[in-house]
Structure 1
Amino acid sequence: MDLKFARTDVTAKPKKAELAKIEAAVEKDESVIFYFDKENSHKDLLELQDYFEAKGKSFYMNEVKYGLSDGEYMYQVHIIN
């Protein structure tokens, strides 16, 4: 799984998301929302879903559009303990 967080600037490159850091944030809080970049493959996000659902967590994923163009979107992932 090679995941990238959503960009904070249009010209910036997305930062890599480490599974250990995501898991630590989920364990720390009851409910966590992450935003992932459009460069992530849908397959990788489904693997992330399988990983957390196997641990008994609830996982919700949505596509969030932030512009009028088809390429202006990101993935919102909500993980609940």
Structure 2
Amino acid sequence: MDLKLVRMELDAKPKKIDLAKIESLVEKEKSVILYFDRENSHKDLLALQDHFEAEGKSFYMNEVKYALSDNDYMYQVHIMA
């Protein structure tokens, strides 16, 4: 599963991160906050949630709006071991 991290510039393309990299971050840090781009499907983020909750980890996801437009949002994900 590949997910897109939030873009740093409005005209930039989002960088991708795979599930193995996310798992290694969680194992290393024990608590990780990641920001995902709006181009990710909500279904993929729910699959990510199911994956980590099945492993017994806490998973919190929020939609964060950073401007007035409906397209100006990102997903904030907090994973704790």
Provide the TM-score with structure 2 as the length reference: 0.96
- Which residue is 1:3 aligned to? 3
SS in 1 for 2:24: helix
Is the counterpart of residue 34 in structure 1 residue 17 in structure 2?
Answer: no
Counterpart for residue 62 of structure 1 = 62
* Secondary structure, aligned partner of 2:10: coil
3-state SS, counterpart of residue 46 of structure 1: helix
Structure 1 runs, 4 residues or longer, greater than 4 Å off: none
TM-score for the superposition, normalised by structure 1: 0.96
- TM-align CA RMSD: 0.7
2:79 is aligned to 79
Q: Distance in 2 between matches of 1:40 and 1:63?
A: 12
Equivalent residue, structure 1, for 2:51: 51
CA contact (8 A) 2:5 2:35 kept: yes
Question: Residue in 1 aligned with 2:24?
Answer: 24
Identity, in percent, stands at 73
Q: Shift in Å at residue 18 of structure 1?
A: 1.1
Which residue of structure 2 lines up, in the alignment, with residue 13 of structure 1? 13
Which letter maps to 1:57? K
**Structure 2: gaps of 5 or more residues:** none
Which consecutive unaligned segments of at least 5 residues does structure 1 have? none
Instruction: Give the 3-state SS of the residue equivalent to 1:68 in structure 2.
Output: coil
